[in-house]
Structure formats: structure tokens, C-alpha cells
Structure 1
């Protein structure tokens, strides 16, 4: 999947940069530059995915899943920086008086780009949902932004072509940099959201409320079933993995006393969470002193 995204990025990067220079369009160059940067980031994501999947328990006893949110964070920062610089350049260009674009070439590029990006986005989005991978979701979000950009470019250049036939033809000099400004402002939002989300995972923040509430309900039902004095549940999401730690606190009324029963409780907890489509790192502990659970 990442290879497919990388090949798509290479195609649109070369096409966008070449077509942008020929059409003298900052907007198309922005699209090509975005695709080029996305290509390098897709290669990074491919390496990270392959590296995570390699078993190396001796060196990484807790796994390497932390690399996934780190890769997403790095990718988000690069895209934010790129959008910031292109925004500045577009504002500077408008102040300088704008420039003329070959509208017919720009429209032709926009049609090809829009169809291609939408196809790749739909394909990546469907695969990302099935595999529950944040890296694939980040890739599909990236193609979603590219699709928006391509459609926006198409609309913008059609408007420019219409304006060029009227008495307002002089305004067409400002259409291209204006589209860059609008696209940059829109594009910054998605990587910024992804950056905050990945940072939350890096620092082992709590999982989404829906997941937390489901697991909390499962644990409390078992607590009641076996008459435990209390239970402490911690759940965090890191990449495609859930880190779950559950501590049951015994008292004199608890009906669980043997090691085999403890394993049965662990199996019961795990079985009740099968509808959560994420890899699970599950620890279920039992103690008679609450201080070991907090």
C-alpha cells in the first residue's frame, strides 16, 4: 500500500513540476512540490512500517510501535513548514503584482490531477480502514488533501479563463497566487491535527473515549462478577496498538483464588474486546494491596 502511494507521489510530482514550469503557474508548482515531499515522506513511512514488522524481541522487548506516531509527527511538521513557506511566497507575489498563467495548460493539468488523486485517495482510504494503520490513514489524508488541491486548482483556473474574456481580465494575474494562499491555509489544518494526535500517542495519552468506555465497562462487569474490592484500568493508543493495563484488587469476599482462574479472567477480558480492531498489548494483574495498582 505504501509502495502504491509512493509510486503515485512520484508520478504526480514529476507531472506537477514539469507542467507547472511550462504553464508558469505557482499553484501547479505547489501541487508538484507537495507531491514530491509526499513521495519522500511515503518512502520514510514504508521504511518505518517494514522496520516495525521485523521481530526483534531481544533489542526491543516492548516492540517498536512508537515509531509510527513519531513518523506521523515528522511528516506533519514537514507539511506544515512547506505550507507556511508557500503561503509567504504567494503573499509576496500578490504584493509584487501577480503574474500571467497559461490557462489552457493549467485546466488540462487540473483535470488529469483531480481524477488521479481522487482514485488514489479512495483506494488508500479503504485499505487504511481495513488495516487500522495510522500510517496508512496519514497517507490517505495526504491524498485527500491532494484531491482537494487538484479540484480547487481546476475550479480556480476555469474561473480565471472566464474572467479573462471580460473587462476584469487584469485580475487574472492574481488568481494563481490567491489559490496558493487558500490551499496553504486549508492544508495546514490536517497535518496540524495529525501532529497533535501523534504527540498525544507519543506521550502515552489515554485512548479515545469510545474505546476507554468500552474497556472500562468490561472491567467493571468482571469486578462485580468476582466481588473484587476495586479495579484500575489504563488504556493508551500508540500507532496501531492499544496498551491496556488492568489491576484487580482483592478483598475477603473475592471469589477468585487460583492461578487457573486468573488466566480465565484474562481470557475473558481479551475475548470481550475482540470487536476493537487494534493490536492489543494486555496486562491483567491481581493484588491484595491497592498501592500496587496506582
Structure 2
């Protein structure tokens, strides 16, 4: 959790820097696209601060008030961040359309290109660093933070491409279109980037409502359980697996019948140990509950 907080603070510092530079630069040369980039970085900063606060709260041990832990907050934070980014994209999209309707706006191409090059390099480096660290930690919050920097890098790349196009057509017969390049880039970028927070929101919403974990994890645990069912001649077994943030909740019920071979509490614990050991390679914090009953109604 300490490493997670350090990464979030690093991300927040990067967000503050690019927010100030983007908004300041955008105002200076009157570029909506650069302003969009700066505002996105400012919102990313705000969201990073929220993530830092939530991570600290999750790290505090409070089993009395939160007997099942606080892992449910992880997908909630990601869902909130996704909603904010979706709203931002719609607002900037609307503003860009208004700019086109009112006649577009001219931009200083030279200053715009300098900003775009610096932003692509800077955001790209931060994204690569956050992504590599996020994969090692297996943290959904850090992965969401990494996705924000990927979006920021892509926005900056879009800015760079747009201003290169503007520079090319500036001295051609199509020069009259240059006043529309800036808002058109905002429209294209907003539409493209809606995909990331929308898909992210859908994924974490499934975790919040406890949809089953992905098929790979489900199938692997199912095979382990069915092997144990066959070994001890249980009548049936029911397995439920759901992922929430960085935790994996596994509920398993074995149903006895008259021919079941399990006879002692020690054997029950042996089965629990076996399941725990065979799922240790799954890179999530496990909440494992294995129950035994002779009446199937307690397992359904």
C-alpha cells in the first residue's frame, strides 16, 4: 500500500505540472485543444488526490466497523473517476461544436507544436512508468491511473498530429480551414476517448454488483473443486467466485451424501489447505470460504 501511495503522489505531481502548463499555454495561444489537454490533467490531479485518500483509508485496519474489509471501495473509486472523465469529454465535445458554429479560432502553430512535443514525451514516460508498476502491484487503482496517463499521452499525440496538419495546409489553398483544426481535434479526441472511461466503468460496475470473475479464474477453480468432489465422493459442489478490486472472493460448498468419504474436521481443513495452496498463484488477495453440508439448501 505504501508503494501504491507513492505512485499516486507521483501521478498527482505529474498531473499538477501538466495541468498548469497546459491551461497556461492554451490560454496564451488561444487553443481549445491544448486547454482540453490541460483541463484533463487538472481533473486527473483531482482524481489522483481522491485515490490517495481512499488508499490510505483502505490501508487502515478496522475489522470492527468493516468486518469484510474495504476492498469494495477500489472499484467504486474507479467508477467515480470514469464518470468524471465521461462528463468532461461530453462538455469539451459540446464546447468544440459551439466554436465551429461561431467561426472557429486561429492558433499560433509554432508554440502549439512545441507544447505538443513536450507533452507527448512527458506523458508517455509517466504512462510507461505507471503501467509497469501497476502490473507488478496488480492494483486496479494504479491501473486506472495508468489509463488516465495513456489517455493524456494520446491527447497530446492528437494535438501534435493536428498541428502538423495545420502547419501543412497553412500555406495551401485550404488555408481557410486552419481556424477549424483546433476545435475539430477536440471533437475527434473527445469521441475517441469516451471509449476508455466507458469500458472501465462497465468493468468495475460488474465488480460492484459481484458479477462472476473472468472465465480463466472461474474454470481453474471449478476444476480444482470438482477433483476434490470426485476424490471424497461428495454428492455435489457449488462454487462462486467474484473479483472486487484487488481481492478475489471464493465461496465453495461441498454437499455430503451417505457415501462421502470425509469423516473428520481435520480432513475438512486439509481440503481447505489444498484449495488455498492450488490457488496461491492467482495474483489477488483471496477471501476463501469452504463449507460442508448434508443439505443442499444451505449451499444454494
User: Corresponding residue for 2:48?
Assistant: 42
Whether 1:187 aligns to 2:206 is no
Local SS of the residue matching 2:190: helix
User: Corresponding residue for 1:231?
Assistant: 237
Local SS of the residue matching 2:292: strand
Tell me, in whole angstroms, the C-alpha distance in 1 between the residues paired with 2:140 and 2:114.
34
TM-score (norm 1): 0.99
Find the partner of 1:215 among 216, 221, 237: 221
User: Corresponding residue for 1:267?
Assistant: 273
Whether 1:109 aligns to 2:108 is no
User: Corresponding residue for 2:175?
Assistant: 169
Tell me, in whole angstroms, the C-alpha distance in 1 between the residues paired with 2:70 and 2:218.
23
Q: Give 4+ residue runs of structure 1 displaced > 4 Å after superposition.
A: none
Tell me, in whole angstroms, the C-alpha distance in 2 between the residues paired with 1:288 and 1:131.
41
Whether 1:138 aligns to 2:130 is no
User: Corresponding residue for 1:205?
Assistant: 211
- Mind listing any 5+ residue stretches in structure 1 that lack a counterpart? none
1:252 positional shift: 1.7
TM-score (norm 2): 0.97
Aligned runs of 1:255-294 on 2, under 5 Å? Answer: 255-294=261-300
Tell me, in whole angstroms, the C-alpha distance in 2 between the residues paired with 1:39 and 1:106.
23
User: Corresponding residue for 1:88?
Assistant: 94
User: Corresponding residue for 2:249?
Assistant: 243
User: Corresponding residue for 1:58?
Assistant: 64
Whether 1:17 aligns to 2:23 is yes
1:38 positional shift: 0.6
Aligned runs of 1:66-81 on 2, under 5 Å? Answer: 66-81=72-87
Whether 1:98 aligns to 2:104 is yes
1:103 positional shift: 0.5
1:168 positional shift: 1.1
Tell me, in whole angstroms, the C-alpha distance in 2 between the residues paired with 1:282 and 1:204.
15
Local SS of the residue matching 1:281: strand
User: Corresponding residue for 2:3?
Assistant: none
Local SS of the residue matching 1:60: coil
Tell me, in whole angstroms, the C-alpha distance in 2 between the residues paired with 1:14 and 1:186.
24
Tell me, in whole angstroms, the C-alpha distance in 2 between the residues paired with 1:19 and 1:271.
55
Tell me, in whole angstroms, the C-alpha distance in 1 between the residues paired with 2:259 and 2:115.
73
Whether 1:153 aligns to 2:153 is no
| 1:110-129 Cα deviation digits (max 9, x unpaired) | 00000011101111111111
Tell me, in whole angstroms, the C-alpha distance in 2 between the residues paired with 1:131 and 1:229.
40
Local SS of the residue matching 1:182: helix
1:283 positional shift: 0.2
Tell me, in whole angstroms, the C-alpha distance in 2 between the residues paired with 1:231 and 1:209.
18
Q: How many residues in Structure 1 have an aligned counterpart in Structure 2?
A: 294
- Mind listing any 5+ residue stretches in structure 2 that lack a counterpart? 1-6
Local SS of the residue matching 1:269: helix
